Amino acid sequence: MRSIKAIMLVSIFLLAPLSGCFGEDSVSEVIADISVAEEQPLVAIRGQPYFLEVDSNVDFKVHRSAGMFFVDEYNVFRDAMNWTYSSEVTTVELLIIDSEQSGLELSVSTIDDEIFWNATLTLEDSSEMMLVDGRRAFDTIDMLTTDWNNRWCASASIHDGGANYEAAANGMAAIWETYGFDEVVVTHYEDDPNQVNVVGYKYGRLYPDQIILLGGHFDVAYAFTPPGGGTSEGANDDTSGSTVSMEVAQGIASREWDHTVAAALWACEEEGLLGSAAFVNHLPENQSIKAYMNFDMVSLNYPIVPPPGYGPYDLGIATAGADEGNLSQMNEWVRMVVEDEMSFDDTPQNDIHWASEET
């Protein structure tokens, strides 16, 4: 028994000098120290970027409420409700949406959600142009209805054979070249030369062959055609949709995206969706359209107060999906943007009319 005790005692003496080495190899716990700049502004401007200054010795998360998007290191918008950052990051960028909310919630935490800072941001209107701005859109529709009239499809016009339309299409392409698109194309299909579409592409950094597309038709109904008789300007049908397409086009061209994002002005819609059909028929085999958003007759402002005997004027939102799962996802995305992010306050006089169909 004594020999066993002696061996144990010797072992303890031998191991004692090594205990320090073992201790040094163990990882000591890092106590999180996260702070936000004392002068951090608590007023955010609708439609403008907001910069959050963070000092942290550990990786951290930023949590947002509806009404703003994260902007990642590639200048791409992210709609996640929280985003994780390396401790090396000191500036977090978000885009404040032109939302009807009065305030937004923002907080900073550890990866394990221990909150170190939170605040309510007060929203104010922007005196400067926003990413997408109705003031710029007003100037665009004024320009289109003043300088680029009689945009009749070549196959429908007995007056000019489509010369006015093509001149306008080339004029818009010149403007789009200044937006920042990677490529702007005025289509001239050999088998269908009347379909002169204007298409601007911002190529995706991850999925360049998958296209998210938006647009509106650029032609107007030829004079005296049913049902409305046609006009020279087509201010509502569809110069309004062309205007929105152009306004969104300048916004998307200024950003980066995971997928290719494209905007289009379509030819000959009044003759049976001919321009957009020609675009699809000539789409390269390696490319696919992931989603499309269409703007047609959108010139009524919100809120609208109908005169006696008129109205209500509803906002029409229609979605279509390739299958039930796709349609459900599309409906949820649109609902989230309209109701949560923008906080659209529809009223009985300006209700949202929802329609969806699997196609």
Kindly state whether residues 138 and 120 are assigned to the same domain: no
Kindly state whether residues 266 and 142 are assigned to the same domain: yes
Residue 346 has pLDDT above 90, yes or no: no
Q: Tell whether 7 is covered by a domain.
A: no
Helix (H) or strand (E) holding 328: helix 324-335
Kindly state whether residues 306 and 272 are assigned to the same domain: no
Residue 351 amino acid letter: D
Q: What total of structural domains would you count in the chain?
A: 3
Residue 13 pLDDT: 41
Residue 324: CA count within 13 A, CB half-sphere:
0
Beta bridge partners of 233: none
Asked which of 44-53, 125-134, 331-340 is least confident by mean pLDDT, the reply is 331-340
Domain stops at, among 124, 142, 167:
124
Residue 74 pLDDT: 94
Q: Tell whether 10 is covered by a domain.
A: no
Specify whether the CB–CB gap between 107 and 42 falls below 8 A: no
Beta bridge partners of 60: 85, 110
Q: Find the CATH number of the domain harbouring 82.
A: 2.60.40.420
Q: How far apart (Å, rounded) are the C-alpha atoms in residues 233 and 241? A: 13
The torsion region of residue 96 among left (phi > 0), alpha (psi -120 to 50) and beta comes to beta
Residue 128 has pLDDT above 80, yes or no: yes
Kindly state whether residues 197 and 232 are assigned to the same domain: yes
Q: Tell whether 2 is covered by a domain.
A: no
Tens of pLDDT along 197-214?
999 999 999 999 999 999
Domain stops at, among 124, 146, 177:
124
Residue 159 pLDDT: 59
Kindly state whether residues 138 and 252 are assigned to the same domain: yes
Distances (CA, A) of 318 to 37, 230, 272, 353: 44, 25, 19, 8
Residue 165 has pLDDT above 60, yes or no: yes
Residue 82: CA count within 13 A, CB half-sphere:
13
Specify whether the CB–CB gap between 44 and 123 falls below 8 A: yes
Q: Find the CATH number of the domain harbouring 225.
A: 3.40.630.10
Q: Tell whether 11 is covered by a domain.
A: no
Q: Average pLDDT over the chain, rounded to whole?
A: 85
Quick one: pLDDT band at residue 21, thresholds 50, 70, 90? Answer: very low
Domain stops at, among 97, 124, 151:
124
Residue 39 amino acid letter: E
Asked which of 24-28, 283-287, 354-358 is least confident by mean pLDDT, the reply is 24-28
Distances (CA, A) of 258 to 74, 77, 131: 9, 9, 19
Kindly state whether residues 214 and 270 are assigned to the same domain: yes
What is the arrangement of strands in the sheet containing 183-186, beginning at the earlier edge strand? 183-186, 198-202, 259-266, 207-217, 288-294
Q: Tell whether 258 is covered by a domain.
A: yes
Helix (H) or strand (E) holding 23: helix 19-25
Residue 313 pLDDT: 64
Pairing state between β 91-96 and 68-71: antiparallel
Kindly state whether residues 280 and 310 are assigned to the same domain: no
Q: Tell whether 13 is covered by a domain.
A: no
Beta bridge partners of 36: 54
For the chain, the first-to-last Cα distance in angstroms comes to 87
For residue 262, the enclosing domain spans 134-288
What's this model's pTM, rounded to 2 decimal places? 0.83
Q: How far apart (Å, rounded) are the C-alpha atoms in residues 314 and 350? A: 5
Residue 112 has pLDDT above 50, yes or no: yes
Kindly state whether residues 230 and 306 are assigned to the same domain: no
Kindly state whether residues 269 and 206 are assigned to the same domain: yes
Quick one: pLDDT band at residue 110, thresholds 50, 70, 90? Answer: very high
Kindly state whether residues 55 and 75 are assigned to the same domain: yes
Q: Span 183-192, mean pLDDT? A: 95
Residue 27 has pLDDT above 80, yes or no: no
- Of residues 267 and 22, more confidently modeled: 267
Q: Span 283-308, mean pLDDT? A: 80
Q: Which two tokens stand for residue 253?
A: 């061209």
Kindly state whether residues 264 and 138 are assigned to the same domain: yes
Specify whether the CB–CB gap between 260 and 278 falls below 8 A: no
Quick one: pLDDT band at residue 28, thresholds 50, 70, 90? Answer: confident
Kindly state whether residues 208 and 274 are assigned to the same domain: yes
Residue 77 amino acid letter: F
Beta bridge partners of 84: 61
